[in-house]
Amino acid sequence: MAFRSAVITFPGSNCDRDMADALEKVSGTPALRVWHGDHDLPEGLDFIALPGGFSYGDYLRCGAIASRSPVMQAVIAAADKGVPVLGVCNGFQVLTESGLLPGALLRNSVIRFVCRDVRLKVENAQSLFTSGYEAGQEIAIPVAHHDGNYFADEETLDRLEGEGRVAFRYMEDVNGSARQIAGVLNAAGNVLGMMPHPERAIEATHGGTDGRALFESAIRGLVGA
């Protein structure tokens, strides 16, 4: 069975081609490209990706306007039916603004753009996205954001921790995120939001391959299901 994925492009997205390229290189099948103004998604999708960038110039709040784009109603409906959705960087912000994930991404505590490789700890290695890793494994993934400071109230944070929904955690204070959280899952485990960019870490010639296992995990789990 061929893997069928789609990458959503918003005005201001700048990592959509990277995401599509990563999905094609790992799966062997080109990703479908979907414009934010579309009301419907292609039929039979196995995987949806919301890429990084600066949708709508980050006006109002990062991801706030994009979360109201016409296509997001279809994305939310697909997620509710169990279709896996990955949101990276700005895509993570869109997921929180749309209500698919709890919390919010605030301005970095250091008040500057952070662009470098960071060390992450894999906290949950049992999800569709992370089964290719080992629990506690340390990986290196690049970040590039100005508003990646994950915030949620203590009750929500305790629930995320208790339910095993923290997927990745920074090994250092990168942006002020509560409890060093770098990526979270929804309750069903089919939606992942993360600030680091795994699509930029799939080839050794580009600096590392630690992000490749995320895509391999998802594709293996979906195609082999």
Q: Is 199 a catalytic residue?
A: yes
CA dihedral 143, 147, 153, 159 (to 10 degrees): -30
Which of 15, 36, 62, 89 is the catalytic position? 89
With beta carbons less than 8 A apart as the criterion, state whether 117 and 141 touch.
Answer: yes
Does the pLDDT value for residue 11 go beyond 60?
yes
The pLDDT assigned to 223 comes to 74
Which of 36, 145, 146, 197 is the catalytic position? 197
Tens digits of per-residue pLDDT, 92-114?
Answer: 999 999 999 999 999 999 889 99
Average pLDDT, the chain: 96
Tens digits of per-residue pLDDT, 145-202?
Answer: 999 999 999 999 999 999 999 999 999 999 999 999 999 999 999 999 999 999 999 9
User: The dihedral of CA 52, 56, 61, 67: what is its sign?
Assistant: negative
Does the pLDDT value for residue 81 go beyond 90?
yes
208 secondary structure, DSSP code? B
User: If pLDDT is split at 50, 70 and 90, which confidence band does 60 have?
Assistant: confident
Does the pLDDT value for residue 89 go beyond 60?
yes
Lowest pLDDT segment from 77-81, 90-94, 210-214, 216-220: 216-220
The pLDDT assigned to 125 comes to 97
In 110-207, DSSP assigns E strands to: 114-122, 138-145, 149-151, 166-170, 181-185, 191-194
pTM over 0.85: yes
Q: Is 89 a catalytic residue?
A: yes
The pLDDT assigned to 59 comes to 87
The pLDDT assigned to 224 comes to 64
With beta carbons less than 8 A apart as the criterion, state whether 142 and 118 touch.
Answer: yes
The pLDDT assigned to 225 comes to 54
Q: Which CATH superfamily is domain 5-223 in?
A: Class I glutamine amidotransferase (GATase) domain (3.40.50.880)
Which tokens sit at 120? 């992450």
d(CA 105, CA 94) in angstroms, rounded, equals 10
- Hey, where are the domains in the chain? 5-223
